[in-house]
Amino acid sequence: MTTDSDSRGSLRKFAWLSIAAALVTIVMKAAAYFLTGSVGLLSDAMESGVNLVGALMALAMLTVAARPPDDDHSYGHSKAEYFSSGVEGTLILLAALSIAAAAIERLINPKHLEQIGLGLAVSVAASLVNLGVALVLLKAGRRSHSITLEANARHLLTDVWTSAGVVVGVGAVAFTGLQQLDPIVGILVAVNIVWTGGAIVRKSVQGLMDSALPLAELNQLRAVLDRYADSGIEYHALQTRQAGARRFVSVHIIVPGAWTVHEGHQLMDRIEVDMKKALPNTTVFTHLESLEDPRSWDDSTLD
């Protein structure tokens, strides 16, 4: 039988794939820079260096997240994934600053580009490598609800769009002879990277702050509970949070006071099973209360 820890551990192969892609593209894009002298291609190579660091961090955090619950971490280690995405987002922002600095210096002191055709061909090939790996990671991340793989995939996709912009900029230099177009594209690349890095950091912070599940998922849970409410059962105090790939849900179920403990327990079991079917990778906590007891309604809101 495959456990949740085994399932998370299997995601490490995707981190290794990302590491391999980063190493390949670093070499290819660095070669493109040395062939052309393009600061745009240099910025592209630097971002691939960030990809490598991010992939290594992803591997480390996926390894931690795959550990089973223990005495010190009763709910598992899945939140470790947020550290990976947070660090990767921060590294992206730092890379953007370095790219912008290099681009501004080149804008002030333009340099003639050489062997543009060969350099662009190498850069395009590297981008295709990133595109293929990004699509694989994105599919795996969505399937497994891994924020680490999704962040890594989106970073690689940003790299692809960045490379496309660089190719356009360097190509424009080749056609127009305006050397300033190359550093201008480098600056635009930096701005694009800042946007992506900020979004990744923001999502990581939301996860560490125990944000509630998205509205679409909350509605799925409410749909399950409403089916029981139609039969005279009531509920309140529905609270949710996300920790990496795992969701946590707690809810108070209110039943007639004349029910036996056995009847209440059977109902709780059915509700928990139905909620887990609606949203896999969910830990559900239910609390039974009496319809006739006024105190049952004292905890209907957040603490």
Q: Among 146, 180, 208, which residue terminates a domain?
A: 208
How far is 224 from 57, CA to CA, in rounded Å?
Answer: 38
Assess if residue 302 is contained within a domain.
Answer: no
Question: Which residues are within 8 A (CB) of 195 and not within 5 positions of it... i.e. 6 or more apart?
Answer: none
Q: In this structure, are strands 282-290 and 246-255 parallel, antiparallel, or unpaired?
A: parallel
| Burial (CB count <10 Å: 0-12, 13-18, 19+), residue 238 | middle
Reading the block at residue 49, the tokens are: 């260096």
Containing structural domain, residue 66: 4-208
Query: Which of 187, 208, 229 lies at the terminal end of a domain, its last residue?
Result: 208
Which among 162, 177, 208 is the end of a domain? Answer: 208
* Neighbour-count burial of 79, counting CB atoms closer than 10 A to its CB (0-12 exposed, 13-18 middle, 19+ buried): buried
C-alpha 161: how far from chain center? 18
Q: 1: pLDDT confidence band, cut at 50, 70 and 90? A: very low
**For residue 71, how far is the Cα from the chain centroid?**
28
pLDDT at 7 over 60: no
Report the CATH number at residue 158: 1.20.1510.10
Question: Does residue 303 lie in a domain region?
Answer: no
Q: Looking at residues 150-159, what average pLDDT do you find?
A: 80
pLDDT in tens, 213-244: 889 999 999 999 999 887 778 999 899 988 77
**Same domain for 83 and 198:** yes
Residues 95-149: pLDDT tens digits? 778 777 777 877 787 766 555 666 677 778 888 888 999 999 989 888 887 888 8
